[in-house]
Amino acid sequence: MSRNSEAPSKRTLLGKISMGIGIFLMLVSINEFTQVLPTHTTKFQGGLILLPSLIAPIGVVLGLIPLKKTKDNLAKWGVVLNIILFLFPILYMILATLMFGV
């Protein structure tokens, strides 16, 4: 019998959730620039660009739990993606201020 025949553990589920949070936040950020789903006509009006800085730390914590116990590759990518998405709004605001002076 192989070791992979077991049911998925809680650790791999947390890694998948962490990666899912990162992908969702990336899609929301891309939508803010491309406007595939128009959100500028709603009451959000560009406020969704700040969403990764609020939700990405949850994804990092959910990814660090399985990464601490076992070296889950999906959890590792989830943590990296969520850290990048956490820093994205901060860098976006700094670069926009430097380039446009607003």
The pLDDT-based confidence of 10 (bands split at 50, 70, 90) is low
Cβ(31)–Cβ(39) under 8 Å?
yes
**pLDDT, mean of residues 55-78:** 92
Q: CA of 47: how far to CAs of 8, 29, 75, in Å?
A: 37, 10, 28
The pTM of this model reads: 0.81
